Amino acid sequence: MKDFHIHFRSRFSHFRRQSRIVCVIALCWFILFIRLLEGETVVIKPNMERKGEKPNMTQEERIADARKRRGDHYANRLKIFLEEAPSIKSGGIVFLGDSITEGFPTKEAFPDAYVINRGIGGDVIEGVIERLDVCVFNLKPKRVYLMIGINNIWWFSPDAPPEELGKQYENLVLKMKQGAGETQIVLLSILPVGGGESAKNIKVNAVNSVIRSIAEKESLAYIDLHPLMRDEKGNLREEFTADGVHLNLKGYLAWLEMMLPQEEFFGAALHLMPLWKKKCGRSFLITKTDPAPDGPYPGNRGPNELVIYTPAYARKSTGTNEWGVEAVVRNGLVEKKEKTDALIPMDGYVISGHGDAANWISSNIRENMSVTRTKDEIVLGDPPASNTTLTAFQRLFHLHDLYYDTLAKMADKQESSESLKEAREILFDIRRIDLDHKERNLQKIEEIEQRIRNILK
């Protein structure tokens, strides 16, 4: 009996030990199950950060998930990036950001470099974090230029203080550093905004201060684009945008001028001249004049169209919506510019544009500028003479136009190396005036204007 009790106790103790092990294993599986379940919830919950490369999701599932949480455009762009990734060579240069980056004509500006545009319209800091694998890590680029944050300020988290947005931005930067290896990371300032949203520049400037401090803390390069991109009031320069946020070609040229060394910038500017002729030339084709007012779009002004409204139009105003730009012309001179639904003068007409046409109007037309309307196109006259009431800053706008118009002609004619050398030196002088307010006076601007005109003689 004693032996039986000893044997029983021994077997019972062994059983208890096994029971404990089973319980511990069961508990571990239960915790793992809960975490996996919570992890799955995090994946489909809107506006939450997704971590890593999501190995449990197929490419199709990832795209569908992005479409559900971040919209069609984000998902469509992500699909393109995922499909392109296997064929992209390492050592390239990546531009990473939102719609401002997506619209950057990188291929035209850098035809001889391996530049990869990874901008997505409407994207925010959190959205960039989600796609770092396919946009940076897997590409193994030599350098990444990052500009992101305006959509966080604008609509995604408008009430968040700059410090909170700075923490989100720093989280993005730290993840990039952790997974990007030897890639050089360059942080670009968030651009100023213009038009009716210029009050947001207070927060833009505050967040930029945080970004600058992050760059210093993490020993990263930081480029402040504001010196060339802002006007005298600190807003995005009117000639660089049609809507106060997105850039036209002139805006992208200013971006390049701040980002690149002088020699490289001249080469990029020369490459962009065919695009300049198309988007910023002195004339633009008229799509239609006095269309029927009842069309598929307000004022019957369709996508990328330039429409002329005269006193013969069926209404007193154009009837257009806010997605465009208009210029009121009287006696052959631009009287003013309007955003929408401009009144049609009895002794003049309204030039109204959407999309590409709106960008052309915002880039090239200014008050008191002479304008000629033919049957087929609008033709702009020469900039007003220097002895008008224009300030030096306003005159500088016309100087840029004169210079790039001339450079575009030189590119067409394949001018001699001596002429290109002079054009390069003039560009460097314009850059000095741009950046140094003390150099910004009418006399120096007039001297450079004459040098520009002399190039083609």
The pLDDT score that the predictor gives to residue 42 is 28
The pLDDT score that the predictor gives to residue 174 is 98
The pLDDT score that the predictor gives to residue 371 is 95
Whether the predicted pLDDT of 363 surpasses 90: no
37: in domain = no
Q: Do 139 and 111 form a contact (C-beta atoms < 8 A)?
A: no
Q: What is the mean pLDDT of residues 158-182?
A: 96
Binning pLDDT at 50, 70 and 90, where does residue 4 land?
very low
Binning pLDDT at 50, 70 and 90, where does residue 62 land?
very high
Q: Rounded distance, CA 273 to CA 98, Å? A: 25
Whether the predicted pLDDT of 162 surpasses 60: yes
Q: Are residues 67 and 214 in the same domain?
A: yes
Q: Would residue 304 be called left, alpha or beta, if left means φ above 0 and alpha means ψ between -120 and 50 degrees?
A: left
Nearest one of 434, 435, 430, 428 to 448, comparing CA atoms? 430
Q: What is the mean pLDDT of residues 429-446?
A: 82
The pLDDT score that the predictor gives to residue 25 is 44
Q: Are residues 430 and 349 in the same domain?
A: no
Q: Do 226 and 193 form a contact (C-beta atoms < 8 A)?
A: no
Q: Are residues 76 and 151 in the same domain?
A: yes
Q: Rounded distance, CA 95 to CA 300, Å? A: 37
The pLDDT score that the predictor gives to residue 14 is 44
Q: Are residues 299 and 421 in the same domain?
A: no
Q: Are residues 232 and 325 in the same domain?
A: no
29: in domain = no
Nearest one of 235, 194, 353 to 285, comparing CA atoms? 353
The pLDDT score that the predictor gives to residue 383 is 58
Whether the predicted pLDDT of 44 surpasses 70: no
Q: Are residues 376 and 396 in the same domain?
A: no
Which residues touch 8 (CB under 8 Å, ≥6 apart)?
none
Q: Are residues 117 and 227 in the same domain?
A: yes
Count the domains in the chain.
3
Binning pLDDT at 50, 70 and 90, where does residue 384 land?
low
CATH of the domain at 74: 3.40.50.1110
263: in domain = no
Residues 58-90 as b or e (16 or more Cβ within 10 Å = b): eeeebbebbbebbeeebbebbbebbeeeeebee
Binning pLDDT at 50, 70 and 90, where does residue 278 land?
confident
DSSP assignment of 65-123 equals HHHHHH-HHHHHHHHHHHHHGGGPPSS-EEEEESHHHHT--HHHH-TTS-EEEEE-TT-
52: in domain = no
* CA atoms within a 13 Å half-sphere pointing along the CA-CB vector of 72: 0
Tens digits of residue pLDDT in 220-263? 999 999 999 999 899 999 889 988 999 999 999 999 999 999 88
The pLDDT score that the predictor gives to residue 1 is 41
Q: Are residues 85 and 220 in the same domain?
A: yes
Tens digits of residue pLDDT in 189-226? 999 999 888 999 999 999 999 999 999 999 999 999 99
44: in domain = no
Domain-ending residue, one of 380, 405, 426: 380
Q: Rounded distance, CA 44 to CA 64, Å? A: 10
Burial of 160 per CB tally in 10 Å (0-12, 13-18, 19+): middle
Q: Which two tokens stand for residue 211?
A: 């970004």
Q: Rounded distance, CA 187 to CA 222, Å? A: 5
Q: What percent of the chain has pLDDT over 70?
A: 85
Domain-ending residue, one of 347, 380, 413: 380
- Higher pLDDT: 14 or 198? It is 198
259: in domain = no
- Higher pLDDT: 325 or 389? It is 325
Whether the predicted pLDDT of 34 surpasses 80: no
Q: Rounded distance, CA 128 to CA 142, Å? A: 19
Binning pLDDT at 50, 70 and 90, where does residue 296 land?
very high
Q: Is the pTM of this model over 0.75?
A: yes
174: in domain = yes
Whether the predicted pLDDT of 267 surpasses 70: yes
The pLDDT score that the predictor gives to residue 9 is 41
Q: Are residues 303 and 178 in the same domain?
A: no
The pLDDT score that the predictor gives to residue 413 is 74
The single-letter DSSP state of residue 387 is: T
Whether the predicted pLDDT of 402 surpasses 80: yes
261: in domain = no
Whether the predicted pLDDT of 17 surpasses 70: no
Q: Are residues 311 and 171 in the same domain?
A: no
The pLDDT score that the predictor gives to residue 105 is 97
Strands 184-188, 221-223: pairing is: parallel
For residue 221, list its beta bridge partners: 186
Q: Are residues 143 and 168 in the same domain?
A: yes
Domain-ending residue, one of 380, 404, 431: 380
The pLDDT score that the predictor gives to residue 415 is 67
Domain containing 366 equals 283-380
Which residues touch 132 (CB under 8 Å, ≥6 apart)?
172, 175, 176, 179
Q: Are residues 90 and 227 in the same domain?
A: yes
Mean residue pLDDT across the chain: 86
The pLDDT score that the predictor gives to residue 11 is 41
Binning pLDDT at 50, 70 and 90, where does residue 73 land?
very high
